[in-house]
Amino acid sequence: MSDPVAFIENNTILKSPSLVPELRLHLADAALPLWEKTEEELAQVGLPPPYWAFAWAGGQALARHLIDRPELVAGKRVLDVASGSGVVALACLWASAAHVAANEIDGFALAAIQLNADANALGRGLELVGRDMLDEPTIDDTGVALWDVVLAGDVCYEKPMAERMTGWLRRHAAAGALVLMGDPGRTYRPTDGLEQLAEYSVPTSRDLEDSDIRRTVVWRVLPLTQR
């Protein structure tokens, strides 16, 4: 398998996501052939799908929301689960979060997040967590929530992942964390137990989505007790 850092540098360009001009990320460019390959072709050369090479509509809306309302994360301990390019995690650091853990199961995404942090001089306070956390506890030994804020951008596109993710996010909310999810109407978004906080029109690419603009909502995920 390729060296992730060299691979990312050779197959992306540094550019700003349309809704988040404050950040520059290593993202796919239509001019580079890698992004035309199918998932099967990528699997043959040992590569997972390059989710990290796009700032997804859910992540962009969440990042926009946090940069516009820095008080939600400033000085806080934040977890960005399924971080991808790190667009949400870096928005939190931009908004002066004290500590941000960016969680990913894809090693290429972890490398991309670090490169993107470096490109924006936002490495201070960033921790990379490279394991599946979705069955882990949400409180410490004394019963205190592990995180002040838990964030998830665009995570409801596959059923098993969306179900595990939603259950875990609700447990964080029950523990006392502020839990926010950015979602452009993906199939497996929960239909209840969410409170709408904001709505954005996110410009997207026809290569990725079925429309040029995705209406994308920032939801507060409620604990089971509030449903």
Ligand X SMILES: C[S@@+](CC[C@H](N)C(=O)[O-])C[C@H]1O[C@@H](n2cnc3c(N)ncnc32)[C@H](O)[C@@H]1O
Q: Which two tokens stand for residue 125?
A: 């306070």
Number of other residues whose CB lies within 10 A of the CB of residue 115: 21
CA-based R_g, the chain, Å: 17
Rounded Cα distance, 169 and 114, in Å: 25
In Å, the largest CA–CA distance within the chain is 53
Using the rule CB under 6 A, is 153 a contact of ligand X? yes
Rounded Cα distance, 43 and 113, in Å: 22
143 or 206: CB nearest ligand X:
206
Rounded Cα distance, 28 and 13, in Å: 7
> Which value, to the nearest 10 degrees, does the dihedral of the CA atoms of residues 166, 172, 174, 177 take?
-130
Selected from 76, 154, 156, 183, the binder of ligand X by CB under 6 A is: 154
The Cα angle at residue 60 between residues 63 and 32, in degrees rounded to 5: 130
Using the rule CB under 6 A, is 183 a contact of ligand X? no
Selected from 19, 28, 82, 221, the binder of ligand X by CB under 6 A is: 82
Q: Which of residues 41-60 bind ligand X (CB under 6 A)?
A: 51-52, 55-56, 58-59
Task: Give the shortest CB-178-to-ligand X separation in angstroms.
Answer: 17
Q: Which stretch binds ligand X (CB under 6 A): 20-28, 75-83, 140-148, 198-206?
A: 75-83
Task: Give me the 185-214 binding string for ligand X, x by CB under 6 A, dash otherwise.
Answer: ------------------------------
Q: Which residue is nearest to ligand X (CB)?
A: 59
Pairing of strands 194-203, 99-103: unpaired
86 or 173: CB nearest ligand X:
86
Whose tokens are 């950015």? That residue is: 182
Q: Which stretch binds ligand X (CB under 6 A): 37-45, 154-162, 173-181, 212-220?
A: 154-162
107 or 226: CB nearest ligand X:
107
> Which value, to the nearest 10 degrees, does the dihedral of the CA atoms of residues 39, 185, 93, 72 take?
-160
Task: Give the shortest CB-144-to-ligand X separation in angstroms.
Answer: 23
Beta bridge partners of 195: 220
Q: Which stretch binds ligand X (CB under 6 A): 27-35, 78-86, 190-198, 206-214?
A: 78-86
Q: Which of residues 123-152 bind ligand X (CB under 6 A)?
A: 132, 134
DSSP label of 37:
S
Q: Which of residues 85-114 bind ligand X (CB under 6 A)?
A: 85, 87-88, 103-106, 109
Q: Which residues bind ligand X (CB under 6 A)?
A: 51-52, 55-56, 58-59, 81-85, 87-88, 103-106, 109, 132, 134, 153-155, 157, 161
